[in-house]
Chains A and B, each alone.
Chain A
Amino acid sequence: MNATDHFIAPTLALHGDLVFARVASADAVELDYENSLISPTCYLLPQREAVFTYAMADGAPPEVRAVVPPESDILFGVRPCDVAAIEYLDRFFMGGEFKDDVYARRRATKTIVAMGCTGPQNETCWCTCSHAGPVARNGFDLQLTPVGDDYLVEVGSERGMALVEPAGDLLTEAGAPELLAERDRLVEASWHKFGCQGNIAQAMRWISGDDTPEELWQELGAKCFGCGSCSLVCPVCSCFDTYEYAEDGMGARIRCWDSCHFPGYSLEASGFNPRETASERMFHYAHHKLCYDTFSKYGRPGCVGCGRCVQVCSAQIDLPSIAQVIRERGRQCRDCTAHAPVHEGAGET
């Protein structure tokens, strides 16, 4: 490890919650852990960050300064779902016509050390269905997967290589093919333990073909509290808002997480709101997550199956539940009105 690198790893916070935070010593690192409620992607797109700062002076234009790139960090123990989320965010922020330099500067300083899973960490994991896990296929600099008493170490980049070289004497290449085969066997055997199977692809087909009835969105909208929790904890959700912080002639443009479930998300200064109702917002959220538009642009659905929204949504209309209702009710509802109400289908994934 480079002396200037910070080590961000799964560790226990004051009251026992698992968080990704800077750790001062290896003792503080948790190696057997359920994923954190706040994804380590928060080190790439923080809940709040300065985009630029400025100093105001009378009679002269304010002096605007870009924010200095952060120091480099090793993100250790990133679960494969979050690795997939980082790949998605990379494409979203750094691909296309405009490259988000604020994201890119943070990203350039991060080394990703993934921790593969050989089974679900808890009952909310559904990465097998969202094509993200339980082990990462790419997107990491280094991936460790526990197999018995050993770790299988996979190198994904030159950066990853540079990390393992100094640890040469701890590593042996000899058993690697066997470990790899054993890991893949464990992963495959764990498949049936994941609660939710195979419905995201079908939900994507229905929703992309507009084969979802209006009442479905109204029912989901009627249940939603608009608290935004599902998107705030989602490692793929990237919407942000900006606001100004200024005091004593100094100021900063801050960007912060936002959620399309908030009633004010699309509200314009004129008072016009193109997504005025919770059902319209639910429709938008689900389409952004599940439509082929997202798939064709970013190579995957807007969900990596981390299960965080399942943990936080008190209305039990998290994304897996939405996908399931779409699958169950998407098509037949065009002609059939005698269907089960939403709550019977939702929340049981």
Chain B
Amino acid sequence: MAAEHEHGLYLPRSIELVEAIEENALEKTFVFDLLDGEPMPYNAGQFMLLTVFGAGEAPFTLCSMPGEAPRVRLTVRRYPGGRVTEALHAMEPGAHAGIRGPFGNGFPMDALRGRDVLVVAGGIGMAPQRGLIEAILNERDSFGRLTVFYGMANPEQMLYKDLMAQWQERDDLDLRLTIDRPHPDWDGHVGLITTLFQDFEADPSRLSVTIVGPPVMYPFVTQECATLGVADEDILVSLERRMACGVGKCGHCAIKGHYVCIEGPVFTLAQYKEFGED
């Protein structure tokens, strides 16, 4: 780590916007090239701090597949009034920005190898998990069954529509989509993401579950996992916290002495319950 920070912990590396893909009304996927040409190895689930010069810096989880560097891909929701996300959404290809990272632990790929994996993604929670799914598909034989639950409020919100269509064709990935309420353009499953557990059978001793979504989703999904018999050690959650540094100094992400930016953002449910929410 140390060598990567020889220019200072807080100095961003220059990146150039290659493409901004409009996913839906609020979310875009930004593809950036690193201008120094240096590699930037990272694990699925790690995050970066992105600088929009003139606006500020904010943390975003990478959604690219590890190994895609020196190119990075981030899906970002625009929050009206959010200085960084508004400025980012206004950027055109060719524009420059800055990036620091990768930070945090990412998904424990070693612990997941050899196991069945259930990915539970609510809304923009698909973004950080896309890298995980692609990393698993990349070494498909090292993992058992791969199931993906992806829930969203309505069909327009779906991220990576082309990729979803491709995934649906595959027989080594079981993608199950749901929308919260009936919609004229939708003939698939309707209901909250927890309803997808009704037709899901698994051997809980072989199953690991990863969960990323809006905060309200976690208690309900972890309850379903408990009913299924999955141990808290095998349930992984990725926490989102406000961060101003990414390196355990600014204090914002700390929960009872645990820094989400260093020890997380991915925790087992057992760890999370131990330090609890404060």
A-to-B contact residues, CB < 8 Å: 51-52, 54, 56, 59-62, 64, 66, 92-93, 96-102, 238-244, 246, 251, 253, 255, 258, 260, 265-270, 272, 274-275, 280, 283-284, 287-288, 291, 293-294, 297
Give the A-binding residues of B (Cβ under 8 A).
Answer: 1-2, 5, 7-12, 14, 16, 35, 51, 53-58, 77, 79, 82-85, 94, 96, 98, 214-215, 240-242, 244-245, 247-252, 254-257, 262, 277-278
Cβ–Cβ contact A101 & B251, under 8 A: no
Contact, CB under 8 Å: B10 / A253: yes
Chain B residues with Cβ below 8 Å from A62 are 14, 53, 96, 98
Are A66 and B11 interface neighbours, CB within 8 A?
A: yes
**B residues less than 8 Å from A283 (CB atoms):** 278
Contact B257–A56 (Cβ < 8 Å) = no
- A293 near B244: Cβ-Cβ < 8 Å: no
B156 CB to closest chain A CB (Å) equals 19
A98 touches B85 (CB 8 A): no
* Bound-state Cα–Cα, A267 to B98, Å: 24
B9 touches A239 (CB 8 A): no
Least Cβ–Cβ distance between A182 and chain B, in angstroms: 42
Partner of B57, one of A238, A240, A242: A242
- A56, B251: Cα distance in complex, Å: 30
Q: What's the nearest-Cβ distance from chain A to residue B114, in Å?
A: 29
Extra pairs beyond A269-B58, A283-B278 (5, CB < 8 Å): A62-B14, A97-B247, A100-B249, A239-B250, A243-B56
A266–B14 touching, CB < 8 Å? no
**CB distance B248 to A97 under 8 Å?**
yes
- CB atoms of B242 and A267 under 8 A apart: yes
Q: Once the chains bind, are B9 and A98 in contact (CB under 8 Å)? A: yes
Task: Give the residues in chain A near B215, CB-CB below 8 Å.
Answer: 272, 274
Report yes or no: B248 in contact with A258, Cβ–Cβ below 8 A: no
Do A268 and B241 touch across chains, with their CB atoms under 8 A apart?
yes
Q: Is the beta-carbon distance between A266 and B241 smaller than 8 angstroms?
A: yes
B98 to chain A, nearest CB (A): 7
Interchain CB contact (< 8 A) of B8 among A52, A268, A294: A52
Q: Are A66 and B8 in contact (CB under 8 A)?
A: yes
Hey, which chain A residues are within 8 Å of B278, CB to CB? 275, 280, 283-284, 287
Sorted nearest first, the 6 A-B pairs with minimum C-beta distance are: A293-B257, A239-B251, A61-B14, A98-B247, A246-B54, A61-B96
Looking at chain A's contact residues, the main secondary structure is mixed
Q: Which residues of B contact A51 (CB under 8 A)?
A: 10
Question: A54 to B10, Cβ gap below 8 A?
Answer: no
Chain B min CB distance to A91 (Å): 12
Contacts known (A98-B249, A238-B249, A239-B250); A270 close to B53, Cβ less than 8 A: no
The answer for the CA separation of A61 and B215 in the assembled complex, in Å, is 37
A246–B53 touching, CB < 8 Å: yes
In the complex the two chains form, is A241's CB within 8 Å of B53's CB? no
Whether A240 and B250, one on each chain, are in contact in the complex, defined by CB atoms closer than 8 angstroms, is: yes
Chain B residues whose C-beta falls within 8 Å of the C-beta of A270 in the assembled complex? 77, 79, 214, 240
Q: Report whether B249 and A240 are in contact in the complex, using a CB–CB cutoff of 8 Å.
A: yes
Q: In the complex, are the beta carbons of B54 and A251 less than 8 A apart?
A: yes
A99 close to B248 (CB less than 8 A):
no
Min Cβ gap B35→A in Å is 6
Q: Closest Cβ of chain A: how far from B21's Cβ, in Å? A: 20
Given A96-B248, A98-B247, A242-B244, A287–B54 Cβ distance below 8 Å? no
- CB distance B249 to A56 under 8 Å? no
Q: Are A269 and B82 in contact (CB under 8 A)?
A: yes
Q: Which residues of B contact A239 (CB under 8 A)?
A: 250-252
List chain B residues, Cβ under 8 A from A97: 1, 247-248, 262
- For the complex, give the distance between the alpha carbons of A265 and B277 in Å: 16
- Assess the B9–A242 pair: CB atoms within 8 A: no
Provide a sorted-by-A list of 6 A–B residue pairs whose CB atoms are within 8 angstroms: A96-B248, A240-B244, A244-B55, A258-B250, A269-B242, A270-B214
Question: How far, in whole Å, are A216 and B142 apart by their CA atoms in the complex?
Answer: 51
Q: With the chains together, A144 CA to B249 CA distance in Å?
A: 32
Write out the residue numbers on chain A whose beta carbons fall within 8 Å of the beta carbon of B247: 97-98, 100
Distance in Å: Cβ of B112 to nearest Cβ of chain A: 24
B219 to chain A, nearest CB (A): 14
List chain B residues, Cβ under 8 A from A56.
Answer: 53-54
Q: Are A274 and B251 in contact (CB under 8 A)?
A: no
Measured in the bound complex, the distance between the Cα atoms of B84 and A253 in whole Å is: 13
Give A239 Cβ to nearest chain B Cβ, in Å: 3
A297 contact set on B, CB distance < 8 A:
257
The residue on B at minimum CB distance from A237 is B251
**A93-B241 CB under 8 A given contacts A62-B14, A98-B5:** no
Which residue of the partner chain B has the closest CB to A243? Answer: B56
B180: shortest Cβ distance to chain A, in Å? 17
> Among the interface residues B83, B252, B262, which one has the most CB atoms of the partner chain A within 10 A?
B252
Shortest Cβ distance from A66 into B: residue: B8
Min distance, Cβ A42 to any Cβ of chain B, angstroms:
17
Query: Please, which residues of chain B bring their CB within 8 A of the CB of A64?
Result: 11-12, 14, 98
B33 nearest CB across to chain A (Å): 11
> Across the interface, which residues of A come within 8 angstroms of B255, CB to CB?
274
Point out the residues of chain A lying under 8 angstroms from B83, CB to CB.
Answer: 244
Q: Which residues in B have their C-beta under 8 angstroms from that of A258?
A: 244, 250-252
Question: Are A274 and B277 within 8 A (Cβ)?
Answer: yes
Query: How far is A291 from B254 in the complex, measured between Cα atoms in Å?
Result: 13
Complex contact A288–B250 (CB within 8 A): no
Q: Are the CB atoms of B241 and A274 closer together than 8 Å?
A: yes
Contact residues in A for B242 (Cβ distance below 8 Å): 265-269
Once bound together, how far apart are the Cα atoms of A257 and B32, in whole Å? 32
- CB pair B56–A101 under 8 Å, yes or no, is no
Q: A242–B256 contact, CB under 8 A?
A: no
B189 to chain A, nearest CB (A): 26
A60 to B97, CA, bound (A): 10
